[in-house]
Chains A and B, each alone.
Chain A
């Protein structure tokens, strides 16, 4: 990956959760940091997210969820991405996700979870350091 090419990121809202303030703020922060960001909008199924990731040829998928359905939906997204051959895509998440659930999500292939209060700068740094490392 040449340094001139922008990192491509998909920010997605899986499930029925309608809270998109965080997703939009993160998308904007990543754009300001020089990344190419596509925001899916609300009510995406894992299938729709994986398809969008493929179509948009992204290196990072960021999942935002505040409804408590993360344990069900995040692993599904990872599984579908891998099934579509996107083994190098970095999957990260954020929202209202209890600390206790994070190890399980990581085991399912989510690289990192960014909980409430995380500065966007930290997310930018994480992506830059981990993109393409799989």
Chain B
């Protein structure tokens, strides 16, 4: 399709006008700027974003010379989706306010979910504990000390039923942060729906299901890459037919950023992972338009306010181009990067925790100005413990105040056309693409991870960031400047250390009460299916329905698939 370049708005209409502006800028730099600098030098020798992108003293049309409105920005809901994936965005509906929550037992987490829904959150988000995330039952030796600490302990369908007790699955959407055993938790969710009389076709939600970032940054992998990708593509295929309203994956940059990556790296490594998933699914025989509309993403909202806004816009545009030009997707919905955002936990401090409320507010605004579909805001005690009711309520109110009182949702993509924002959007896209090409040269995301390339890039950035803080170059208020003597924090959430014992008792009871012959049958069928190449979702569902435990199911899969061995880096 021939490009028709529009000449309105940002671009300079002709060579003469550009030359004149260049001349004016030179005069200004040589005159008023130089004069000011001799009297009052700037705060830093150079100003760069977290990604190392040079920050102009002032951005002008010269910084966005080739920008073409229709081709590069377009209209909301239309390719390349720079301005947003829906035509009316928050004028139609605010982003989903979805607080990540879960701790101790299903009973306690169920209470917290009801509290959050009462306080006005509009979607659920389940945090599972580490044994659950890594496919171990609460009574496994490696689970000792870990049960219920970072999320809810789910050992079987029985726990899942309790978790959603009194919560109608046809009325609420649920995001589950579960990766290696995502198929099992999804099966449990479907089974809970069945018991509530809600068919799987009506279930709404997301499973994170993004194993590549586990290897690169988050660490809750179980199986090696090949069988993990098989599980993921099985889920794509199954859901396309039976759970069409579910996002089958949340391709994540949040954790990559938390591990130390820059904004550019966050976009690059996330989209590179996305490319790997699309390729795997196509290789498994799926048509791209059959699964791509249900891919979703998950990004971080960090401290450099303007870079973050540009980052979200760049990610949308870059993904749209990749899906169109590289994968030839035809369905417009296959080209849309829809995403959830979480404010950056790593930026929150243990010192003077109330300051974190301000940080989270800024990060909220960046995510909204960047067009997120869904948002979790961290609580002020993020660096200290899991949230209390009070601290999570303030985090939720932050979203509600931005939504209802700031007005930034009343027009779509308000910062479009800003010379600086468009310059940054272009730069982030350009640099992310460079990384993606490099990763392609290495053989793709899986190969890049196996070679340690992505991990090394992340580590380098993390170390650089820490050096900047320790040298004082990067100020963290309350930590390396504006410190004060503080009393130790009070009233933090503590998880009862007896949770592990209680869960073990529940498991004993469950194993005594269920039909163990049926359990054994289903686990045998699972083993057979895993050894072949049948879709594993139906056999996992069978096992889940008869109360096989998560540990038992994952135990079979561990037997067949083996475990991932992280290379010593």
Contacts and interface: CB of A to CB of B under 8 A. Distances in A.
B352 to A, nearest CB: 10
Interface stretch (B87-95, B488-496, B532-540): B488-496
B130 interface: yes
B404 interface: no
Contact of B214 (A18, A69, A117): A18
A96 B260 contact: no
A117 B144 CA distance: 28
A73 B141 CA distance: 12
Q: Determine chain A's interface SS by DSSP, over half rule.
A: loop
Contacts of B346: 21
Contact of A69 (B146, B349, B469, B569): B146
B65 interface: no
A42 interface: yes
A18 B463 contact: no
| Residue from B144, B219, B480, B569 with most neighbouring chain A CB atoms (10 Å) | B219
B568 A121 contact: no
B463 A71 contact: no
Interface size class of B (residues with CB under 8 A): 35 or more
A94 to B, nearest CB: 12
Given A45-B142, A72-B145, A16 B462 contact: no
A34 interface: no
A3 interface: no
Interface in B128-145: 130-131, 133-134, 136, 142-145
Interface in A7-56: 15-21, 24-25, 28-29, 41-43, 45
Interface in B342-375: 346, 349-351
Nearest to A45: B142
A67 B142 CA distance: 13
Nearest to A101: B494
A87 interface: no
Contacts of B385: 96, 98
B441 interface: no
Nearest to B346: A21
A18 B219 CA distance: 4
Contacts of A45: 142
Nearest to A15: B146
Contacts of A16: 130-131, 133-134, 136, 142-143, 146, 220
A111 to B, nearest CB: 20
A116 interface: yes
B167 interface: no
Nearest to A16: B130
A18 B566 CA distance: 12
Contacts of A73: 145
Given A72-B144, A96-B383, A116 B214 contact: no
A42 B130 CA distance: 13
B146 A67 contact: yes
Given A16-B142, A67-B130, A21 B462 contact: yes
Contacts of A24: 459, 462-463
Given A98-B492, A117-B349, A25 B466 contact: yes
Contacts of B494: 98
Given A67-B146, A69-B145, A72-B144, A98 B384 contact: yes
Contacts of A71: 145, 497
A28 B463 contact: yes
Interface string B37-64: 0000000000000000000000000000
B148 to A, nearest CB: 9
B129 to A, nearest CB: 9
A2 interface: no
Contacts of B220: 16, 18
Contacts of A19: 219
A100 interface: yes
Nearest to A121: B470
B150 interface: yes
B149 interface: yes
Given A16-B130, A41-B568, A25 B218 contact: no
A68 B153 CA distance: 14
B383 A116 contact: yes
A71 B496 CA distance: 12
A56 to B, nearest CB: 13
Given A17-B219, A69-B145, A117-B349, A99 B466 contact: no
B479 interface: yes
B251 to A, nearest CB: 18
A16 B221 CA distance: 10
Contacts of B134: 16
Contact of A18 (B218, B351, B497): B218
B486 to A, nearest CB: 10
Interface string A74-89: 0000000000000000
Nearest to A99: B488
A73 B350 CA distance: 23
Given A16-B131, A25-B463, A96-B383, 19 more contacts: A15-B145, A15-B146, A16-B146, A16-B220, A18-B214, A18-B219, A20-B219, A20-B259, A24-B462, A25-B260, A42-B219, A45-B142, A68-B146, A68-B149, A69-B144, A69-B145, A71-B497, A99-B488, A119-B480
14 contacts: A15-B146, A16-B143, A20-B219, A25-B463, A29-B466, A42-B219, A42-B566, A67-B150, A68-B495, A69-B144, A73-B145, A100-B488, A119-B470, A121-B470
